[in-house]
Amino acid sequence: MNEYDSSRMAAMLSASGLTPVEDIEEADLVILNTCAVREKAEEKIFHLLGRLRPLKEARPERLIAVGGCVAAERGEQIRSRARFVDIIFGPQTYHRLPEMIRRVENGEGPQTDVSFPPNEKFAFLPPRKSGGPSAFVTIMEGCSHFCSYCIVPYTRGGEISRSSEEILQEIRQLRDCGTREINLLGQNVNCYRGVNPDGSICTFAELLHRVAAVEGIERIRFTTSNPIEFTQDIIDAIGEISKIANAVHLPAQSGSDRILALMNRSYTANEYRDMVRRLRLVRPGISISSDFIVGFPGETDSDFEDTMRLIEDIRFDGCFSFVYSKRPGTPAADLEDPVPPEVKSQRLARLQQMVNALALQHSREMADTVQRVLVEGPSKDGQFLCGRTSNNRIVNFTGPAELAGSMADVRITGILPHSLRGELLTIS
């Protein structure tokens, strides 16, 4: 989400006459776009601010801005610990940056705006002029679920959906500049409820059908769908729409019903299993990935074993996993947490080992198959072309550079832990 916000800020500031620089020393404006989801990300910000201080002192007219969720949550602390910061803005007010910059330059002093004006920013952002082969499009913002460990509802505000037409217009703009894959973005995309031009309400399943009808868009992904309200109409849409990628990210967080209840996740491990069963019924072989939090306050060995069992049962194809991080102001922050940190990190290591082994097994099953990939550009080392399969794997293969941005069929010839090797068959 921050990646999307940063790219939109960059596009907006470019439209107002700024150009990006490679070297921070040359910058007239430095923006930190921050994440508050775990404590470590927050600590990094204060560390980085310490490094920015001499830059500001060397050239006081250089502007320093801090945006995103840490700014929303701890604006005052940032002000008191780093007085040199000129602008503090939240995840819903970055469209006001040009105005805030103007005010500071006019001598009106430091600016702060961490309010939540619903959906206002989209009307202020410039049309999409470039997105690359695959682009994010925000369909909804904020979250109203209040999982007991999570800071997002406090920093990004309540759930709010963009209108279906605004989203489709953005997608058509991206298509017109060559984007082939759209990643629909939101904290809970499945809770999307946008207004249609005729005033009716568009559900997420309906939105998927509308996006699929946009000619020239070849592949659709969404991040994050959530087991909370992952309803049958969405599962049916995944079965019906072949443009939807063969991969769904469905964060389980835990496999223990006791912990899931304490987390306020409103599903049980068996309900989760049933959801995946129904998904696989409409899309056999669909890749399922997840997020897990290990060491939630009071998680016992037996709770953790329940999580490991869920992972084995589902045979997840990758996951993001984290040790629980206490977020101030969230209900879980008040729970007793007797589990020693070493136990938590051992559990995390075991979980990651298991998920990595499962992902490798899934990769091995792809050996010798032909995969349709979206060619993203040169590989990291510049030796190959790099594409992404429908089930979200990187494939490196030899081919002409002009292929970037097209779809191609590639035979899988090698399996590596984090990528695949392939051989180009056809281009389309």
Concatenated DSSP letters for 199-221? SPEEEHHHHHHHHHTSTT--EEE
- Asked if residue 38 binds ligand SAH (CB under 6 A), the reply is yes
The nearer residue to ligand SF4, 62 or 145, going by C-beta atoms, is 145
Q: Is 315 exposed, middle or buried (0-12, 13-18, 19+ CB in 10 A)?
A: middle
- Asked if residue 254 binds ligand SF4 (CB under 6 A), the reply is no
Rounded to 5 degrees, φ, ψ at 259 are -70, -40
Among 139, 147, 288, 359, binds ligand SF4 (CB under 6 A): 147
Sheet holding 287-294, edge to edge: 247-249, 287-294, 319-323
The nearer residue to ligand SAH, 241 or 333, going by C-beta atoms, is 333
Window of 98-106, 148-156, 338-346, 377-385 that interacts with ligand SF4 by CB under 6 A: 148-156
CB of 159 to ligand SF4, least distance (A): 8
Among 62, 145, 221, 327, binds ligand SF4 (CB under 6 A): 145
Quote the CA–CA distance of 30 and 48 in Å, as a whole number.
Answer: 11
Window of 19-27, 144-152, 254-262, 406-414 that interacts with ligand SAH by CB under 6 A: 144-152
CB of 37 to ligand SAH, least distance (A): 5
CB of 313 to ligand SAH, least distance (A): 19
CB of 92 to ligand SAH, least distance (A): 17
Residues whose CB is less than 8 angstroms from the CB of residue 134 and which lie 6 or more positions away in sequence, other chains included: 179, 180, 181, 182, 183, 219, 221, 374, 376, 388
Quote the CA–CA distance of 291 and 95 in Å, as a whole number.
Answer: 31
Closest CA to 192 of 234, 146, 239: 234
Among 93, 203, 226, 325, binds ligand SF4 (CB under 6 A): 226
Q: Which string of x and - marks every residue 208-247 that binds ligand SAH (by CB under 6 A)?
A: ----------------x-x---------------------
- Asked if residue 260 binds ligand SF4 (CB under 6 A), the reply is no
Q: Which string of x and - marks every residue 184-213 that binds ligand SF4 (by CB under 6 A)?
A: ---xx-------------------------
CB of 191 to ligand SAH, least distance (A): 10
CB of 152 to ligand SF4, least distance (A): 4
- Asked if residue 316 binds ligand SAH (CB under 6 A), the reply is no
- Name the residue type at position 383: Q
Rounded to 5 degrees, φ, ψ at 296 are -60, 150
Helix, strand, coil percentages for the chain (3-state, nearest 5)? 40, 20, 35
Concatenated DSSP letters for 123-187? HHSPPP----SEEEEE-EE------TT--HHHHH-S-EEPPHHHHHHHHHHHHHTT--EEEEE-T
- Asked if residue 330 binds ligand SF4 (CB under 6 A), the reply is no
Among 110, 153, 331, 405, binds ligand SF4 (CB under 6 A): 153
Query: Alpha carbon of 11 to those of 20, 95, 321: distances in Å?
Result: 10, 11, 32
CB of 348 to ligand SF4, least distance (A): 18
153's contact among ligand SF4, ligand SAH, none, with CB below 5 to 8 A by partner kind, is: ligand SF4
146's contact among ligand SF4, ligand SAH, none, with CB below 5 to 8 A by partner kind, is: ligand SF4
ω into 19 cis (within 30 of 0): no
Q: Which of residues 182-201 bind ligand SAH (CB under 6 A)?
A: 187-188
> What is the signed CA dihedral for 233, 234, 238, 240, rounded to 10 degrees?
20
Tokens of 79: 């002000």
Window of 80-88, 112-120, 323-331, 342-350 that interacts with ligand SAH by CB under 6 A: 323-331
Residue numbers at the binding site for ligand SF4 (CB under 6 A): 143, 145-147, 150, 152-153, 187-188, 226
Interface residues toward ligand SAH, by CB under 6 A = 37-38, 149-150, 152, 187-188, 224, 226, 251, 253, 291, 293, 322, 324-325, 327
